[in-house]
Amino acid sequence: MQRTDTSDPNYYHQVVDCQWACPAHTNVPEYIRMIANGQFDDAYILNRESNVFPGILGRTCDRPCEPACRRGRIDGKPVAICRLKRVAADHKDDITDRIPKAPATKNGKKVALIGAGPSALTVANDLMPLGYQCTIFEKGPRPGGLMRINIPAFRLPEEVLDEEIGYIVNMGVEMKYNSPVTSLKSLVDSKEFDAV
Ligand code: SF4
C-alpha cells in the first residue's frame, strides 16, 4: 500500500466528501462553520474564492455536494449545503470593499472575451486584478448569458444576477453590448488583443 501523500492538496479534498464532490471544490465545511457563527460576509467571500457567483449558485446549483454529504449516511438527509450558500449571500452586508480590485497601472496585455456569460465573467474576474485589460463582446444588450436568459426570474431574481455580475464589471471591464462576434478570424487578425 502506498503511503499517503499529504503534500498533495487532493488528499485533503478527498477526505472531505462534499468538497471533493463539488466541481469547484468549494470549502464547504469552513463556510458552513462561518454561517453557524453568523459570519455571513466571510462565508460569502470564502465561497467566492471557488466560484464568483455564490448567490446565483445558492439558488441554481445542481448541488452534487449534497448526495456526497456524510450526514446522508447517518440520518438519511444531507446538510442543505446549496441553500446555505444562498443564506450567506442573502444575509451578507456590503462586501464591495472585499472584492478584488484592478490595479490602476495595467500590465499592458489586452484580452478579448466572447459572450458575457459565466465563463467570460469568471475569466475577467481573475485577470482584471492581475492588471490585464479585459473586453467582453456580447451580442445581447445585457450580461449574464444563459444564467439570465435560461433561468426564470422566480428562481433567479434579476437583482441577484445584477449584483454579482456588477462586482466583476465594476472592476473596469470594457463591456461591448449588442456586439456579436461574427468572425473569430477577423478578431484575431485585428491584433488588437494579446489573447482571445
Ligand atoms: S452547492 Fe454547488 S457550488 Fe456549492 S458546494 Fe455544492 S456543488 Fe459546490
pLDDT tens track for 102-120: 999 999 999 999 999 999 9
Position 71 in a domain: yes
Position 120 in a domain: yes
What pLDDT was estimated at residue 185? 96
Position 47 in a domain: yes
Q: Are residues 74 and 145 in the same domain?
A: no
| Cα–ligand 1 centroid distance for 189 (angstroms) | 39
The answer to whether residues 68 and 19 touch, using CB atoms and an 8 Å cutoff, is no
| Cα–ligand 1 centroid distance for 86 (angstroms) | 11
Position 26 in a domain: yes
Q: Are residues 88 and 146 in the same domain?
A: no
Q: Are residues 86 and 128 in the same domain?
A: no
Amino acid in position 51: N
What pLDDT was estimated at residue 7? 79
Domain with residue 34: its CATH number is 1.10.1060.10
Q: Are residues 86 and 57 in the same domain?
A: yes
Q: Are residues 52 and 128 in the same domain?
A: no
The answer to whether residues 111 and 194 touch, using CB atoms and an 8 Å cutoff, is yes
Domain end (from 67, 93, 119): 93
Q: Are residues 50 and 116 in the same domain?
A: no
Q: In the structure, what pLDDT confidence band is assigned to residue 2 with cuts at 50, 70 and 90? A: confident
- The yes-or-no verdict on residue 63 having pLDDT over 80 is yes
Average of per-residue pLDDT across 89-110: 97
Across all residues in the chain, what is the average pLDDT? 95
What pLDDT was estimated at residue 119? 97
Q: Are residues 40 and 65 in the same domain?
A: yes
Domain with residue 137: its CATH number is 3.50.50.60
Q: Are residues 120 and 79 in the same domain?
A: no
What pLDDT was estimated at residue 10? 74
Nearest CA to ligand 1 atom 1: 82
Position 38 in a domain: yes
Tell me: the pLDDT tens digits for 167-183? 999 999 999 999 999 99
Domain end (from 30, 65, 93): 93
Pocket test for ligand 1, best of 16, 25, 26 (most atoms within 8 A of CB): 26
Tell me: the pLDDT tens digits for 8-50? 777 766 788 999 999 999 999 999 999 999 999 999 999 999 9
What pLDDT was estimated at residue 4? 73
Is the model more confident about 159 or about 75?
Answer: 159
| Cα–ligand 1 centroid distance for 177 (angstroms) | 30
Estimate the crossing angle of helix 81-91 against helix 28-36, to 10 degrees.
50
Domain coverage including residue 166: 110-189
Domain count, the chain: 2
Position 196 in a domain: no
Q: Are residues 64 and 128 in the same domain?
A: no
Position 103 in a domain: no
- Percentage with pLDDT > 70 across the chain: 99
- Say if ligand 1 is within 6 A of residue 168 CB: no
Q: In the structure, what pLDDT confidence band is assigned to residue 163 with cuts at 50, 70 and 90? A: very high
